[in-house]
């Protein structure tokens, strides 16, 4: 994908998302707009149930909006068929969720290699790339370990490496440290910010951690179905 001329990687325009609950419509997003520049880190905060994860799923082409557009590097994702969307998810977007979703029967290296294999890369190339990324996240010596043999923090680092396998233009992180202890959380946060600083990785992050959010270039709060700039990112007491 090529970026738009003005450097905007992601544009979300007048986004709406509704669900039917007990026969009644539940409107989660109400005309939400967002622009993210290439290389930018944007943190999205807000109360539970406001639709933060829903927004990431729409941006990441895991779900389709009720109305509005998601445009990634000049391509309107809403106009793509399912097969093309699957290709976008595999090659252009990296996902890091609160739970790592590693496959238990595979080693760390094999888990990281999977997206490349799904994209049609040769096994040798995919495994070499996986080992390179595990080195980048400090886990070279754990490459042949299965997830059960890794700590929670190590599992999330493997998940970050997997998200980067196909060099995506955008990484989406949904409460990536939500299940980790303080030390592991801080280590993961340093890793995510290092990706931006040294790799120029574009990152949209959903978090309840205001200390983490405060390190982003922009902090937006999701409330009443729309995003608003949040000036105060002092951690909650």
pLDDT tens digits, one per residue of 144-168: 999 999 999 899 999 999 999 998 9
CB contact at 8 A, 73 and 4: yes
- Please determine, for residue 1, whether its predicted confidence score (pLDDT) is greater than 60: no
State the virtual CA torsion across 31, 218, 96, 57 in degrees, nearest 10.
0
Angle between helices 182-199 and 152-163 (to 10 degrees): 20
Domain segments of the chain: what residues? 39-66+80-229
pLDDT at 198: 66
Instruction: Give me Rg for the CA atoms of the chain.
Output: 18
With bands split at pLDDT 50, 70 and 90, how would you rate the model's confidence at 234? low
Rounded Cα distance between 177 and 96, Å, is 10
pLDDT at 236: 44
pLDDT in tens, 53-83: 999 999 999 999 999 999 999 999 999 999 9
Fold of 39-66+80-229: Rossmann fold (3.40.50)
Ramachandran region of residue 58, left (φ > 0), alpha (ψ -120 to 50) or beta?
A: alpha
- Please determine, for residue 23, whether its predicted confidence score (pLDDT) is greater than 80: no
pLDDT at 80: 92
| pLDDT, average across residues 19-48 | 90
Rounded Cα distance between 39 and 197, Å, is 9
Burial class from Cβ neighbours inside 10 Å (0-12, 13-18, 19+) for residue 41 reads: buried
CB contact at 8 A, 202 and 40: yes
pLDDT in tens, 191-203: 888 877 767 789 9
| pLDDT, average across residues 75-96 | 92
With bands split at pLDDT 50, 70 and 90, how would you rate the model's confidence at 178? confident
């Amino acid at each position: 994908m090529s970026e738009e001329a003005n450097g905007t990687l992601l544009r979300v325009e007048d986004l709406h998302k509704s669900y039917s609950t007990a026969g009644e419509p539940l409107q989660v997003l109400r005309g939400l707009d967002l622009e993210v520049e290439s290389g930018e880190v944007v943190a999205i905060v807000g109360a539970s149930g406001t639709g933060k994860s829903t927004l990431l799923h729409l941006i990441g082409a895991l779900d389709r909006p009720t109305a509005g557009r998601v445009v990634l590097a000049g391509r309107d994702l809403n106009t793509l068929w399912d097969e093309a969307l699957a290709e976008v998810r595999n090659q252009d977007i990296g996902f890091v969720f609160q739970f790592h979703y590693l496959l238990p029967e595979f080693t760390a290296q094999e888990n990281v290699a999977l997206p490349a294999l799904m994209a049609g890369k040769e096994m040798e190339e995919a495994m070499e790339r996986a080992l390179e990324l595990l080195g980048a996240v400090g886990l070279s010596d754990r490459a042949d370990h299965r997830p059960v043999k890794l700590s929670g923090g190590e599992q999330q680092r493997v998940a970050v490496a997997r998200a980067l396998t196909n060099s995506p233009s955008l990484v989406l992180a949904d409460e990536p440290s939500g299940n980790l202890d303080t030390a592991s959380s801080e280590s993961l946060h340093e890793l995510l910010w290092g990706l931006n600083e040294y790799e120029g990785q574009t990152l949209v992050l959903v978090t309840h951690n205001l200390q983490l959010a405060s390190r982003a270039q922009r902090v937006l709060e999701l409330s009443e179905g729309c995003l608003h700039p949040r000036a105060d990112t002092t951690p909650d007491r």
